[in-house]
Chain A
Amino acid sequence: MLRPLIALLMLCAAVSTAAESPVVPAAEQVDRYVALFNQDLLALDDKRRVVTPITGAFDAPASDIARDVAQATWFSLLVFLPFLVLPQVLLIWIIWKYRKRQDGRAPATFTGNHRLEIVWTAIPVVALIIVGIPMWDLLYKMEAPPADQRRDMVVEVRGKTYAWDYKYQRLGGDVPTTRGDQFEVGQDVVGMQEPIVLVKDRRVIMNLTANDVNHAWWVPAFGVKKDTIKGRYTNVWFTPEKLGFFKGQCAELCGQGHGIMLISALVVDEADFAVWTETQRHRADTARVWSALSGTTVDAKALEDAVGAYLLKGSSPWRLFSLRYWIASNAASLARKPGELKGEALKQAMLARRVQVEALINRLTGPTTATN
């Protein structure tokens, strides 16, 4: 009795998921996505200038936690400020007022004043209570796990000397968990570290750990920092509230490369995130095509074999898009790196090769693509 019902429900769920699945971007949009996702382009522009400045939790909070932390900081600063200013002002005033002058004034002789002492013990206590009470709530918001995690994205963050791996354990949102969404990004790159990609207004739960020594994951704009320690998991969560690219640096001394163990995070909207996840899924398969393309000269036979092998494994629109994306993205990264081919020559060569691949795809995927 129950079983068919459940089957029906599951079917409905499947249909609704299928209906909501994102549209494959057109081939022309490849370059837009490369500009959006490629960390090398996000680090420095063509003229080697900084693209995005680093932002902090206090000047430009970019998550719900950072916003709360910034507010709490300004509030505490305000309450505590008299205890900073008053002694300084008093000190200068006393030194001036009671300086030794040739006026024969005798110094005072008092050695205590109980009432005064009670006052300057009690007033700081009151100030601490005023600050301490809201801190309790914020602390529990930051540290106690959120109650409803169904829509959350879950990412395992793994620190290793001197880079970060991000394993997406659950993409969250409307994507059902049963899809077994586990894929990894992260590799040692010259330039910025590969960014963790997050969705605006979707909470991310991070499980942090390390492969070797301790590190700490810290993107100042998000207002969270956690050590990554081998043998345990630590956790943070926050909801990114601003689109954009955010930078950080490892915050726990981890050896020679500590200073260049950079962190980058990219916050995009739902649709772009879907494109990114799809391109990540097929990323590994595109490696062979890229290796056939990336040399100074291209062996047409090897390229045809590589593209053929890629398409044989699947030729869905997403796979085709991913192939185009990764070729364009890798070419863009290559253009940034020192090599035999440089600058405009490299750009032209790469454009020609992209056309070559495009022709191969059209030929190999046959009449269906050709008619489009």
Chain B
Amino acid sequence: MSDTVPMPPIKRYTGVMDWLTTVDHKKIGLMYFWFVVFSALIGGAMAGAIRVQLAMPGATVEAMQAAALNGTTALSLFSDANGMFGDRHLYNQMVTMHASMMIFFVLIPGFIGFANYIVPLMIGARDMAFPKLNAFGFWLLVPAAVLQLGSFFVVGGAAASGWTAYPPLSLKAASAGPGQDMWILGVHLVGVSSILAAINFIVTIVSLRAPGMIWSKLPLFAWATFFVAIIQLIATPVLAAAVTMVLMDRNFGTTFTIASQGGDPVLYQHIFWFYSHPAVYIMILPGFGAISHVIAAFSHKKIFGYLGMVIATGIISFIGFLVWAHHMFTVGMPTWLQAFFMYGSLVIAVPTGIKVFSWLATMWGGTIRFTVAMKFAAGFISMFVFGGFGGLLLALTPIDMSMHDSYFVVGHFHMAMVGGSVMLLFAMTYYWWPKMTGHMLCEKQGNWIFWLMLVGVLMAFMTMHLTGALGMARRVPVYFKDFLVLNHITTVGYALTFISSVWFVIDLIRSYGRPKVTENDPWHVNDVQQSFEWATTCPPPVYNFEQVPPIPVADQMGKH
């Protein structure tokens, strides 16, 4: 036996330096969380700018025309004539950056953050498989956000070609400023961050499950994260390819998307949506998994149809790759191809339906505690069914020819993303916040937050469906007077949603001042289930578990 070499002293930081240098999945998860809160407030404020413009008296075509004829100017936030706040170009920047913030810096990292915190706990691991990679993935988001938000302050302003950045609009001729390039580079960084997280999750879930945690015992949130990680790993490089084509066309003289030199702008759209359709599942599927736990916990039951849930998630993830062109039915495709994408999109309704019915069946016969987390879960089911219903109509190509790029689409995906994903994130926060911080959120205020949010979402986004079906186009700063009342209702709905969100953030901050949770399992989840994250302290110690928690004898379907 040779002499033992003494371990080199490891420098431990405290305070801010600790957070800056941490590789602990829990701290990184919390940093994701607060980063997302910050981005969501900025993105939400941008939505506010959009809504205020659309609530202005000068936002109607007729008011604008009348003002031009009278030789006066119509009152408006963004307009060529007398914008208090800049011109319509800035409006397009708001539209673009609202979407970019919400997609790249809120919904995608929002679920990644939760998965970071919860999934290792759920599977009984001490940390993620690659802790340093994990930290790197998070910290990449910061320069990405700086690039994208900072582009507001460069010549020409931020990207203004929509978050879809379709060429030729995103090429030099139409968007000359460096804002578009900064947007692209930001997307690259987000993409790398996303891919690193995906690799980490796949390896963690495959190889770091506690002994005895076989696949059929794996919690649904871990399953959903696993599938989503696969989607991210496959799809995200494709997004990078798409925006790189634009970057090259803009700066290095290539002609991937320039029609007059042999390129094809539609090629970009196909490649872009090959990522961006699966991306909508990245933005909601993890929540699907998580909400099963919330519903089961507060119904005092086990999850209904576990196997069906797993298979449905898998099928959604797979078919999600085959339906991208339903975002571009009006682009002029062969008829048979449109038919393929129409029927493919319809098929997704089936596994989604299985999930909705399984959630209802999970609640059936339980003893339901209608806590705030449960309220958000129920609100999510209700809103998501609305959103999905709109999706069914949009999948039908002949109808989509009228609905495409109208406010119906805006209403549809906001219903799915705010009524769906954001409600999911709220439910997950109320459910897991005591585990993550050791503090409870206020149930009484939570009720107000929930009902405000629900009414706001209904007012804002149900109305949008109608506005779009009647003929209002997307991404317009002025609209026909006929849509005036509907737009005002939407704006009020937005205000309620935003107030509710800000209130929520205030309660998050205030919760740190409340007394610590003493129990491991404040919701009494493990009375019925055996979920690892509730088998350790709130918050868990650095090493998560003092010993490997007892593996459930029965799998999730009740088989021994």
Q: Which residues of A contact B (CB under 8 A)?
A: 43-44, 48-50, 53-59, 66, 68-69, 72-73, 76-77, 80, 83-84, 87-88, 90-91, 94-95, 98-101, 105-113, 116-117, 120-121, 124-125, 128, 131-132, 135-136, 138-140, 142-144, 161, 190-192, 212-214, 216, 218, 220-221, 223-227, 229-235, 247-260, 262, 336-338
Contact = CB atoms under 8 A, between A and B. Distances in A.
A222 to B, nearest CB: 9
A140 B336 CA distance: 9
Nearest to A87: B385
Given A106-B367, A143-B397, A258-B88, 10 more contacts: A53-B482, A72-B399, A91-B360, A95-B368, A95-B378, A120-B354, A216-B404, A220-B406, A225-B330, A259-B479
Interface of B: 61-62, 64-66, 68-71, 80, 87-89, 92, 95, 160-162, 164, 166, 168-169, 173-174, 259-260, 264-266, 299-308, 328, 330-332, 335, 338-339, 342-343, 346-347, 349-350, 353-354, 356-358, 360-361, 363-370, 378, 381-382, 385-386, 389, 392-393, 396-399, 401-402, 404-406, 469-482, 528, 556-558
A84 B365 contact: no
A248 B476 CA distance: 12
B259 A84 contact: no
A50 B368 contact: no
B70 A48 contact: yes
A139 B168 contact: no
Given A76-B393, A107-B301, A337-B69, A121 B354 contact: yes
A253 B346 contact: no
B396 A72 contact: yes
Contacts of A218: 405-406, 473
> Secondary structure at chain A's binding surface: helix, strand, loop or mixed?
mixed
20 contacts: A53-B482, A54-B470, A88-B385, A91-B378, A98-B367, A107-B301, A107-B367, A112-B305, A132-B343, A135-B397, A190-B65, A212-B173, A223-B402, A224-B401, A224-B402, A248-B471, A254-B169, A257-B88, A259-B476, A262-B61
A117 B469 CA distance: 34
Nearest to B402: A57
A249 B332 contact: no
A48 B66 CA distance: 6
Contacts of B381: 87, 91
Contact of A69 (B260, B308, B398): B398
Contact of B368 (A55, A100, A235, A337): A100
Nearest to A234: B332
B179 to A, nearest CB: 14
Given A44-B69, A48-B69, A136 B339 contact: yes
4 smallest CB-CB distances across A and B, nearest first, come from A231-B259, A108-B365, A220-B471, A234-B332
A221 B471 CA distance: 8
A90 B95 CA distance: 37
B475 A229 contact: no
A113 B361 contact: yes
Contact of A247 (B357, B396, B480): B480
Contacts of A257: 88
A100 B367 CA distance: 4
A220 to B, nearest CB: 3
Contacts of A88: 382, 385
B332 A226 contact: yes
Contacts of B366: 98, 107-108
Nearest to B263: A231
